[in-house]
Amino acid sequence: MVSLDIVTALMEKCIQLRKVLRDRRLAHNGISSDPPLYEIRDNIVSGNINPKDYWKIVEFEVLDEKMKLREEMRYHRRASLTQVVYFGSLYHEHYDLWSERGERDYNKRRMIELTVEMGETLGWGFYHWAFAEDFFGRIAQFESKRAKMGGEAKSSKRNEEKTLLKCLVKSQLEHHPQRKKGWSNMYDTAEIIGKKIEEIAEEQNFPISKKGDDLQHEVIILIDENKDVASIYKNNSRSRGG
């Protein structure tokens, strides 16, 4: 008779598989929608699902195609969960035969068949789980890359705005009508130039997002901290000391 130690070890592996599937589902943040186990069980009993339909190797040419990552991950998770449910039905049949403690050849033969099938079922369950994990990793990588690209785009836009603002400030320091009188002090200069740049940005649809006091504050920082801007300001101020 088939050793119960083998069946017990298989059951422990099934519990482990069910746990890792559940833990990963909790980490999916809504990108996975697993069917409930009772629904899978009912579909197996009614014949709508044949667990062995999932007993096939994924062809390499399929893996090389451009796929919808979430759809593929969900497929393999469903396949793995189906094996978990099917394993349970095989285990219960095996237990029922064992509990009869009959010595009929049918019982022995069937129990051996069930044990082998439980092992195969678990093998395919872990196979599809591994694929689901792979696709989960690809999704995470894709999301990370997209977030990075978005961050780089925002950074590029900020740099573009800073460069444009710097050019506009330098131009106004050199060519604004007030320059003929000489710039009186940094704060009055920032107020005058800030208002003018705001007008220009609106007229020309320039990507200058800051307005009012915030824009004037940026002008002050440029005059105070940027060497090129500070040099132009000093050369056009009433007092070369600013």
pLDDT for position 7: 85
Write down which residue in 149, 164, 190 finishes a domain.
149
Round to the nearest angstrom and report the end-to-end CA distance of the chain. 99
Write down which residue in 149, 168, 184 finishes a domain.
149
Q: Do 204 and 132 belong to one domain?
A: no
Numbers of helices and strands, H then E, in the chain: 8, 0
pLDDT tens digits, 45-95: 999 999 999 999 877 555 544 467 888 888 999 999 999 999 998 888 887
Q: Do 182 and 135 belong to one domain?
A: no
Domain-embedded: residue 104: yes
Token pair 């990075």: residue: 148
pLDDT tens digits, 185-210: 888 888 888 888 888 888 777 778 88
Q: Do 192 and 90 belong to one domain?
A: no
Q: Do 106 and 212 belong to one domain?
A: no
Q: Do 130 and 187 belong to one domain?
A: no
DSSP 55-66: -SPPPHHHHTS-
Give the whole-angstrom CA distance, residue 30 versus residue 90.
32
Give the domain range for residue 46: 4-149
In sequence order, which residues have a C-beta less than 8 Å from that of residue 54 and are 6 or more positions away? 79, 82, 83, 124, 128
pTM: 0.56
132 close to 24: Cβ distance less than 8 angstroms: yes
Looking at the structure of the chain, the number of domains it has is 2
Burial of 156 (0-12, 13-18, 19+ CB in 10 A): exposed
Domain-embedded: residue 158: no
pLDDT for position 218: 86
Q: Do 12 and 112 belong to one domain?
A: yes
pLDDT tens digits, 113-126: 888 999 999 999 99
Domain-embedded: residue 161: no
Domain-embedded: residue 155: no
Strand blocks (E) in 23-100: none
Write down which residue in 149, 165, 196 finishes a domain.
149
